[in-house]
Structure formats: C-alpha cells, structure tokens
Copies of this chain bind each other. A is one copy, B any other.
Amino acid sequence: MQEDRRLAVLRAIVEDYVSTREPVGSKALVERHRLGVSPATVRNDMAALEEEGLIAQPHTSAGRIPTDKGYRFFVDRLTQIKPMSAAERRAISTFLEGAHDLDDVIQRTVRVLAQLTQQIAIVQYPSLARSTVRHIELVSLSPSRLLIVLILSTGRVEQRMIELPADLDTGSLSSLRSRILHAAVGESITDAANALGALTEQTDHVNRTHVAVIATALVEAMSNERQTERVVVGGTANLARFGDGFDQSIKPMLEALEEHVVLLRLLGEATSSDSLTVRIGAEGPYQELSSTSVIATGYGPGDDAVGSLGIVGPTRMDYPGSMAAVRAVARYVSTILDQA
C-alpha cells in the first residue's frame, strides 16, 4: 500500500523534475498528480525515499530531485518504453528510406535520432566482422601505382593507393586480379584474409612481391579497426538546450564528442540488438560525464549487432521517450541494412 504510493511519488518526482528542471516540493506534487493524499503524507514518503538514497535535496528546505540511484530505479522498475506514434514511425522510415548509400544511412540515422530525442545522437559505423567480400578491383593508375578498391556486402567501400615494388604490365595485372577475385570474393573477411595469405604462398617468385603488397593492403583494409573506430555525432546544438547548471559540464561534453574513442567506449557495451543499455550518471567510466546518461543499443540484421547507436544527454532526461526512440531507430536501421 504505502510502498506503492512511495513508488508513485518517486515516479512523479522524476517526471516533474525532468519537465520543470526544478526541485519538486510536496505541495506541487499533489497538485500536479492526483495522488489522493495530502502534502504532509507525501513529505513522509519523501523522507523514506531519501532514506533509501533515491532522492535528495540540494539544500535544506528545497524540493527533492532524483539521485542517480533514483533514476536507475525509475528506469528499471517504474516505466515501460512507450511506443512511438504512427506518425513518428512513418517519419523515421521515410527519412531513412531516402538514403543513397551507407554513409547516407548513417548520416540520416544520426539526424533522426537527434531530432526525435532532442539529445546528442551517436552512431557507430557497422563493423565488418560479419560482412563478406563482394568485389575487389585493382585499378592501374600508372605502371607502378595501383588503386585497390574493396567492396563489402554491407555496401561499404574501402580504398587504398599503393606503390608497387616494380612495374606491372596489364596482362599480369589482369590475371592477378582474377586470381585475387577468385580467392576472396564471397568469403567473410576473416576467410578472405586467410585465402589471400595462402594465395601469396602459392604465387611464383616473379609475382610474389606484388601479390604480397596487394594482399597486405587488402587485409589492412579489411581489418575492422579503422572501420569500427568511425562514429558520427549529431544534435550537438541540443547541448545548448541542456542549459542551466549544465554549463560546467558542457566543456567536457564537447571534448568527449571530439574524442571518438571515448564515444566508442560509451556505446561499447551495447553489443546485442534488441536490448537497451542505459547508463546513468556516474555509473559510466568517465567522471567528467557524471551528470550525463547514455542510452545505447546494438543494431544489425537479425539479432547480431554489427554496430551500436545511442544518445547522450543530461541525467535529467526523458528516459521512456528516449529509450523508445533509440530502439525504434535501431530497428529501422537494421531492416534498412538488411535490404541493402
């Protein structure tokens, strides 16, 4: 009984504080939410909640604000992700459908996510780990210079320009090209890397160095290091909206956004599709970002995540709405990538 009401009070505090940005007092609470009790009763409940560490008061005789622990409780126990409206779903899908290529998909994803949540959106490029080699093209720029283009099943194109140790005539190049294609096309990138290694071994002495150089470049291009390092950030302008006491944390925030490695760590743990990771305040590894929360999830065809995406905002954020948006966008991106 009382326990139920206490949780209702906690929920009400979180909701009010999120929308008003001001500590919420007992009187305002009973007015805005139809709890059937008096302010005094609420005050007792508040005292109990504070005892448990779920809320706190910034100063004696100010209203209460949720603590990180309070938000955590709210997210875990007091809320369901609210479904997106039909209009929102339509907006997401039409906006994402219009994309030309992978770059464009990512760009648009970041935009729509930032737009929906009014927070900062982060999208990681899909990892190549599970992708296969669609095509390899060797383009002779000059007798000793070669442009290597690697096309993967995700639609990602990698290119490398290399210097050959010696000139290579077009005949050799074309036979070399078909051998490489034969070895690598259709294979996963790990298998392709192995096949290219084997191919180097099998090659006669004359062309060995050429093949070795090319294979090295290809393998390097395939290694997903550079790839998964890439993240795109959007909605930075929303930082300004965070406003108020957030001024101090705007600097570390901006710095973090520049450091893609940091962003990757923030997204990092969200590896599986269809489950949201919510990190609240100081739960994260960066104390500079202790007043921010992260909502992230994996995306990718099926249940395998090939990348992560999410948002970053102040701990005082609309969790149900943001979680819904992140999940919805992740799903749409997954289906889009599946089609491509």
* A116 adjacent to chain B (CB < 8 Å): no
Partner of A340, one of B157, B161, B237: B161
A135 within 8 A of B: yes
Contact with B along A127-165 (1 / 0, CB 8 A): 000000011010101000001010100010101110000
Residues from chain B with a CB closer than 8 A to the CB of A139 are 134-135, 151
Residues of chain B lying within 8 A (CB to CB) of residue A161: 101, 155, 340
Whether, in the assembled complex, A7 has its beta carbon less than 8 Å from a beta carbon of chain B, the answer is no
Would you give the shortest CB distance from A244 to chain B, in whole angstroms?
12
B-chain residues with CB within 8 Å of residue A257 when the two chains form the complex: 236-237
Would you call A307 an interface residue if the criterion is a C-beta within 8 Å of the partner chain's C-beta atoms?
Answer: no
Q: Which secondary structure characterizes the binding site on chain A?
A: mixed
B237 pairs with A236, CB closer than 8 A: no
Contact segment of A26-34, A70-78, A247-255, A292-300: A247-255
A149 touches B157 (CB 8 A): yes
Residue of B nearest to A260 (CB): B107
A229-251 CB contacts (< 8 Å) to partner B: 234-237, 239-241, 247, 250-251
Q: How far is the CA of A247 from the CA of B258 in the complex (A)?
A: 20
Q: Chain B residues with Cβ under 8 A from A237's Cβ?
A: 251, 254-255, 257-258
Complex-state Cα separation, A226 to B340, whole angstroms: 20
Q: Which residues from 256 to 303 on chain A have a C-beta closer than 8 Å to any C-beta of chain B?
A: 257-258
Q: Which of A147, A239, A254, A255 has the most CB of B within 10 A?
A: A254
Q: How many residues does chain A have at the interface if contact means C-beta atoms less than 8 Å apart? A: 31
Q: Shortest Cβ distance from A44 into chain B, in angstroms?
A: 41
**Within the assembled complex, what's the spacing in Å between the Cα atoms of A253 and B4?**
47
Asked if A59 CB lies within 8 Å of chain B CBs, one says no
Contact A135 B134, CB 8 Å, known A157-B149, A240-B254, A258-B235: no
B254 touches A239 (CB 8 A): yes
Smallest Cβ-Cβ distance to A340: which chain B residue:
B161
Q: Does A100 lie at the interface of the complex (its beta carbon under 8 Å from any beta carbon of B)?
A: yes
* A240 pairs with B234, CB closer than 8 A: no
- A250/B255 contact (C-beta < 8 A), A135-B147, A137-B149, A147-B151 known: no
Q: Which 4 A-B pairs have the closest CB atoms?
A: A240-B251, A237-B254, A237-B255, A135-B139
Interface residues, chain A, with chain B CB atoms under 8 Å away: 100-101, 134-135, 137, 139, 141, 147, 149, 151, 155, 157, 159-161, 226, 234-237, 239-241, 247, 250-251, 254-255, 257-258, 340
30 contacts between A and B (CB under 8 A): A100-B226, A101-B160, A134-B141, A134-B147, A135-B137, A135-B139, A135-B147, A137-B137, A137-B149, A147-B151, A149-B149, A149-B151, A149-B157, A151-B159, A155-B159, A155-B161, A234-B258, A236-B236, A236-B257, A236-B258, A237-B254, A237-B257, A237-B258, A239-B254, A240-B250, A240-B251, A240-B255, A241-B251, A247-B247, A250-B250
